[in-house]
Each structure stands twice: as structure tokens, then as C-alpha cells.
Amino acid sequence: MESQALKELIKQGLAADKAGSKIGAESTADIQNNASHPDLLALLDKGNTTSKEWAQRIDRAITEVGGVAERPNEVLEAHYRVSKEISSEAQTDEVRDLGIIASGQLALHYWIASFGTLKAYAEAVGLSQTAREMQASVEEAKQLDEEFTALAQKMLAVK
């Protein structure tokens, strides 16, 4: 496979992730304003801190590939719209919190897939810093996903 063509694909992925990071930052206040469970609020705060680190890693990867053109991230834009609808239509605080967890996990699975794919592609073309940083992000996203699952199970057990 031609290395330069794969690098262009990596650039496209990084541009989409940069746009996705901006969407995530914009959505954080809405999500935290809608959550009520104290453990969920703490987990959302942790996720927000982690996503800031991801944004920095994405920026470093963009530097390593020589820059990228801006592009939208329609997947995360649509996901954010749907998650707002879920929150606004929830009939109880508990259901809203569980909806926030579900939406958060869907977003985390996007990031796991994106970071994992970029890591593999970066390795293939010798972008070792990007590969390492994408792997670190994958591991953090998986850990957050596990914490969201545990919280949902805890909340459901109380019922």
C-alpha cells in the first residue's frame, strides 16, 4: 500500500477527530447540567478531563502528520443531537441519567474505534508518536466505558 495515500487517510481521521473534540467540549456543559446522580456527575467530570487530554493528543498527531484541513464530524454532531433529545424526553431523573450513560458509552465506542484505527494506520506508516498516543487514548476510553457500565449496573440494582 502506498504510504502517502495512507497518511492522507490518517489526516482525514485526525481532522474528523479534531472536529469531534470540539463537539464534545461544547456538549459537556449541557450533559453535566442534565445529570443528577452524584456518581454520574463525577464520572462526567473525569471524562471531560480525559477528553481534553485526547484533544491535546490529536493536536500532537496533527503536528506529526504535517497539519490537516478542517472538516466536520457529522457522526458526532448527529449523536449529540440525539443525546439531547433523549435527555429532554426522559420522564425521570434516573432515566435521564441512564440515557446520559448510554449516550456517553456510544460516544466512547466511536472514540475507541477511531483511536484504534488511527493507531493501526499510524504504526503502518511509521508515525510512532501518534500510534502510542492513540493507543493510550483507546485504553482510557475503554476504562471510562467500563466505569459507565458499572455505574449503570449500580443504578439499576437500586431499583
Is pLDDT of 5 > 70? yes
Q: How many residues does the chain have?
A: 159
Band of residue 159 on the pLDDT scale cut at 50, 70, 90: low
What is the pTM (predicted TM-score) of this model? 0.94
Report the chain's terminal Cα–Cα distance, integer Å.
54
What percentage of the chain reaches a pLDDT higher than 70? 99
Q: List Cβ<8 Å contacts ≥24 apart for 21-25.
A: 21/51, 21/54, 21/55, 21/58, 23/73, 23/76, 23/77, 23/80, 24/51, 24/76, 24/107, 25/51, 25/52, 25/55
The identity of residue 100, as a single letter, is I
